[in-house]
């Protein structure tokens, strides 16, 4: 029986998302939906603690995983992309920013597989020198992207379609030129990072999918595929393609053979 890929999932500081009484110790959390979606695709997910002051421990953990998954969450601190905070920018999590940026840059430098969703696409964009809209309402011609459960929308509510770029991993995974997606974000990509290309676009032109140039598996989407994995074959195929890329990485890491050259990968 083939072994399963081990994937690191950085956590989020509980106090960054909830009103926690002062004096309580900080806790690190992450939604179970990400873990169940990854497990369904054959991945063993492990939580990454936000030890932003202990790079040696983070590196030891990073070296043991076959890939990284960047989940949704609070806003990236605008100072990370050289901007002052706008009044519409929400809560941030400095420790999470630090850990995810560090590990993402390691993965990008080494070609280790990387999959990001929602905040994850924004983090990858910032890690590569890109910038964000601090609120989509600041973008001329923006449609509604903030269809949040707190406003009565179901997490699997299909808010709009995205168009896939020909020849992209997303196009191959979904086996279609476009697909309906959910939309639970208020920020988005303003300036694309270096080495990235836009591979999914919303009807208003907002970039909702990016992939790295070259052979390494680096894919990120602005929607929340973990909420759609039970009803969308394309979504499940995307997670499985990530799992395959992670197994390829494990099989050939250190051999001098590029992981993308193997045939296991589905997208």
Largest Cα–Cα distance in the chain? 53
What residues make up the domain containing 194?
Answer: 5-261
Is there a domain that residue 125 lies in? yes
Among residues 145, 185, 224, 246, the one annotated as catalytic is 224
Instruction: Please write the tens of the pLDDT for every residue from 223-263.
Output: 999 999 999 999 999 999 999 999 999 998 855 455 443 43
What's the CA gap between 90 and 93, in Å, rounded?
Answer: 10
The answer to whether 119 and 176 have CB atoms below 8 angstroms apart is no
- Whether 204 is in a domain gets the answer yes
**What's the chain's Rg over C-alpha atoms?**
17
Marked catalytic residue, from 89, 118, 147, 246: 118
Which CATH number does the domain housing residue 15 bear? 3.40.50.880
Q: Would the pTM count as exceeding 0.85?
A: yes
pLDDT at position 267 is: 52
226 tagged catalytic: yes
pLDDT in tens, 110-149: 999 999 999 999 999 999 999 999 999 999 999 999 999 9
Task: Give the long-range contacts of residues 157-164, CB within 8 A, separation 24 or more.
Answer: 157/182, 158/182, 159/183, 160/202, 160/203, 161/202, 161/203, 162/200, 162/201, 162/202, 162/208, 162/209, 162/223, 163/200, 163/201, 164/199, 164/200, 164/209
Indicate whether 267 belongs to any domain: no
Position 173 in a domain = yes
Q: Give the pLDDT mean for 201-208.
A: 98
Token pair of 143 as six digits? 């449609």
Answer whether residue 220 is part of any domain. yes
Percent above pLDDT 70 for the chain: 93
CA distances from 145 to 18, 30, 89, 137, 148 (A): 22, 22, 15, 9, 9
- The length of the chain in residues reads 267
Tokens (6 digits) for 69: 């998954």
How much is the average pLDDT of 25-31? 90
> pLDDT tens for residues 66-105?
999 999 999 999 999 999 999 999 999 999 999 999 999 9
Active-site option among 100, 208, 211, 226: 226
Establish if 200 belongs to a structural domain: yes
Tokens of 229: 């994995």
Q: Pinpoint the alpha helices (H) of the chain.
A: 14-17, 32-40, 55-64, 94-110, 119-127, 169-174, 233-252
Is residue 266 domain-resident? no
Domain count, the chain: 1
Cα–Cα distance for residue pair 183/151, rounded to 1 Å: 12
| Residue 186 belongs to some domain of the structure | yes
């Amino acid at each position: 029986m083939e072994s399963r890929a081990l994937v690191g999932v950085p956590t989020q500081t509980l106090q960054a998302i909830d009103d926690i009484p002062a004096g309580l110790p900080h806790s690190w959390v992450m939604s179970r939906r990400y873990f169940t979606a990854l497990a369904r695709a054959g991945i063993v997910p492990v939580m990454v603690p936000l030890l932003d002051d202990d790079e040696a421990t983070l590196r030891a953990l990073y070296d043991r995983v076959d890939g990284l998954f960047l989940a949704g969450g609070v806003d990236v601190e605008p100072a990370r992309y050289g901007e002052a905070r706008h009044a519409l920018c929400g809560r941030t999590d400095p420790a999470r920013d630090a850990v995810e940026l560090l590990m993402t840059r390691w993965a990008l430098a080494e070609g280790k597989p990387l999959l990001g969703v929602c905040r994850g696409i924004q983090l990858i964009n910032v890690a590569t020198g890109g910038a964000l809209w601090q609120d989509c309402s600041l973008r001329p011609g923006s449609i509604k992207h903030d269809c949040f459960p707190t406003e009565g929308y179901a997490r699997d509510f299909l808010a709009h379609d995205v168009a896939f770029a020909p020849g992209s991993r997303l196009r191959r995974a979904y086996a279609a030129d476009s697909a309906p997606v959910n939309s639970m974000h208020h920020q988005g990509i303003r300036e694309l990072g270096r080495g990235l290309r836009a591979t999914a676009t919303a009807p208003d032109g907002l970039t909702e999918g990016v992939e790295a140039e070259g052979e390494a598996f680096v894919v990120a989407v602005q929607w929340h595929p973990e909420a759609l994995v039970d009803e969308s074959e394309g979504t499940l195929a995307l997670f499985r393609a990530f799992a395959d890329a992670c197994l390829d990485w494990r099989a050939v890491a250190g051999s001098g053979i590029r992981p993308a050259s193997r045939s296991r990968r589905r997208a």
